Structure 1
Amino acid sequence: MSRLAARFASLKTTGRKALVSYVMAGDPAPHVTVPLLHDLVAAGADVLEVGLPFSDPMADGPAIALAAERALAGGTNTLKVLDMVAEFRKVDTETPIVLMGYLNPLEIIGYENFAKRASQSGVDGLLLVDLPPEEAGELDIVLKQYDLDPIFLLAPTSTDARIKHVLTQARGFIYYVSLKGVTGSAALDITEAAERIAKVKAQTSLPVGVGFGIRDAATAKQMGQVADGVIVGTVLVQPFGQHSPDIAHGMAVEKIKELRAALDEIV
């Protein structure tokens, strides 16, 4: 059983909701990331989503796009992110790690080379925003070879046919985008998201995590009541563009504690 499957199964057994925390690797400097990941786990994160910095992040709002710029300016690239994961794994061998990014760097590195190094580093899953399932066949063969789970997105605009197609290829969990927009958008329609998530869950045994628009205890609790977990990113990343690394680190940790407490109130 993969680390992702094991973690979601364990949470389901205890009746808890997964808290998935996103950070941009290397933001604002490479040395910041690994200690932050450890502290987010200690604060209550169940799964770590680590952003691969990319120059043209089309699905990301301003906060995460700027985080990618800072990370790239500090010298972080995709292979160095894998080194960070390997460093994290020296201490934590249980917390699942999903990389989130874009296809171009993998094309340059090569699917086989990337997947092998990712597996050796301790990566569990991969979400490429700009790789639809229809075009993921070649990469998926390599991911299966190295026991890496492909994570796919579903959205309010996903048709019934698209939902079925994604569910045939996805492993690990389904990432449901709760709104029509980029990361950090505020226009979260709780009712619509709840209806769509219920529709997806009726068709799969995979866990469904919801992201985009989760920003506080209230939205986390509302979405946690209908999904298997919530994914939070912008509110963790944004402080690194506004404060010193130490202050931003502390703010991110406190936010995870806040969201963890809210999710644990769900019966």
Structure 2
Amino acid sequence: MTSISERFTQLKKENKCALIPFITAGDPNLKTTIKAIKILAENGADMIELGVPYSDPLADGPVIQAAATRALKNGVCLNDVLDIVKNLQNEITIPIILFTYYNPIFYRGVENFMKTIADVGVKGLVVPDLPLEEAETFLKVAEKFNIEVTLLVAPTSPMERIEHIAEKSQGFIYLVSVTGVTGMRSQVESRVEDLISKLKTVTDKPIGVGFGISEPSQATQMKQWGADGVIVGSAFVKKLTHTNHEEGLKEVEKLCRNLREAIK
């Protein structure tokens, strides 16, 4: 697998916007998760966010919360998620980014956690409840194991804080497009365009926009506004709730292709 930075560098040379799907590991089951990752990698995804099921996912909306609950009921744990990545690391070339809350990391110890995920081929981390003020040591440990930690910029953040986050974030900067939790929305707030412009005045790092993007037209709009990457989660997770798992996978494939076409 390539690193996140390498992938964005390649995409920049090709004048392309990154497509970053999110799915919850273990929902509806581990076997389907593996199939979904392969399908996404084969149909235009540039990197994949793989959500680690967690009992109190504060940043997630109802669709992803429900997916995490189902996965936990299935007995899915962090080791299962890492086994998925390990088994796929020789089959797919795009980077896999773990989306996890801080508690599972704290439980294992930061250094041990970083070594463990690096050993199986994970390339990046998004930790939504990691505050900037506590990120310095965390980022240094991650760097030691070549794990790129992407920090989130909230739309309500003051410019001074945005600059600090942009300076520290690795791989890319995760711009949250809405105030609130993840989930599908009918339109993206217009202030996102202004936020992208402001970010580009203080950093040359890629900017990925997520939370609330679910349709190809919204993805196109993000690219037109200057985003370097588009992150789509709830729309993919919802497809996988189909009672017929194979039909759900077909819908995931179709959505991935449509999103790729929208930002090519």
* TM-score, shorter chain, exceeding 0.5: yes
Equivalent in the alignment of 2:104: 105
For 2:104 and 2:96, the matched residues in 1 are separated by 19
For 2:94 and 2:246, the matched residues in 1 are separated by 23
| Code of the aligned partner of 2:148 | D
Residues 178-187 or 199-208, more deviating: 178-187
- RMSD over aligned CA atoms reads 1.3
For 2:17 and 2:190, the matched residues in 1 are separated by 19
Corresponding residue SS for 2:190: helix
* 1:29 Cα deviation from its structure 2 partner: 1.0
* 1:244 Cα deviation from its structure 2 partner: 2.4
CA contact (8 A) 1:30 1:74 kept: no
* 1:242 Cα deviation from its structure 2 partner: 4.1
Task: Tell me whether 1:8 sits opposite 2:8 in the alignment.
Answer: yes
Equivalenced residue count is 262
Task: For 1:2-151, list aligned pairs within 5 A.
Answer: 3-92=3-92, 94-151=93-150
CA contact (8 A) 2:184 2:214 kept: no
Q: Deviations 1:127-181 (Å, cap 9, x if unpaired)?
A: 1110112112232221011011111111210111211111221110001011112
Corresponding residue SS for 1:136: helix
**TM-score, normalised via structure 1 length:** 0.94
Identity percentage of aligned residues: 39
For 2:52 and 2:91, the matched residues in 1 are separated by 21
Residues 59-68 or 178-187, more deviating: 178-187
Task: Tell me whether 1:197 sits opposite 2:222 in the alignment.
Answer: no
Corresponding residue SS for 1:220: helix
For 1:189 and 1:60, the matched residues in 2 are separated by 17
CA contact (8 A) 2:89 2:120 kept: yes
* 1:109 Cα deviation from its structure 2 partner: 1.5
| Code of the aligned partner of 2:38 | H
Q: Deviations 1:38-92 (Å, cap 9, x if unpaired)?
A: 1101110001110010000001000000100111111211122111111110212
* 1:183 Cα deviation from its structure 2 partner: 0.6
For 2:167 and 2:258, the matched residues in 1 are separated by 35
* 1:185 Cα deviation from its structure 2 partner: 4.4
| Code of the aligned partner of 2:17 | K
CA contact (8 A) 1:210 1:227 kept: yes
CA contact (8 A) 2:25 2:81 kept: yes
For 1:89 and 1:140, the matched residues in 2 are separated by 23
Task: Tell me whether 1:184 sits opposite 2:170 in the alignment.
Answer: no
| Code of the aligned partner of 1:3 | S
Alpha-carbon spacing, 1:90–1:23, altered in 2? closer, same or farther (3 Å): same
Corresponding residue SS for 1:27: coil
| Code of the aligned partner of 1:212 | F
Task: Tell me whether 1:227 sits opposite 2:227 in the alignment.
Answer: yes
CA contact (8 A) 2:188 2:218 kept: no
Corresponding residue SS for 2:202: coil
Gaps of 5+ in 1: none
Task: Tell me whether 1:166 sits opposite 2:165 in the alignment.
Answer: yes
Equivalent in the alignment of 1:256: 256
Alpha-carbon spacing, 1:162–1:188, altered in 2? closer, same or farther (3 Å): farther
| Code of the aligned partner of 1:48 | I
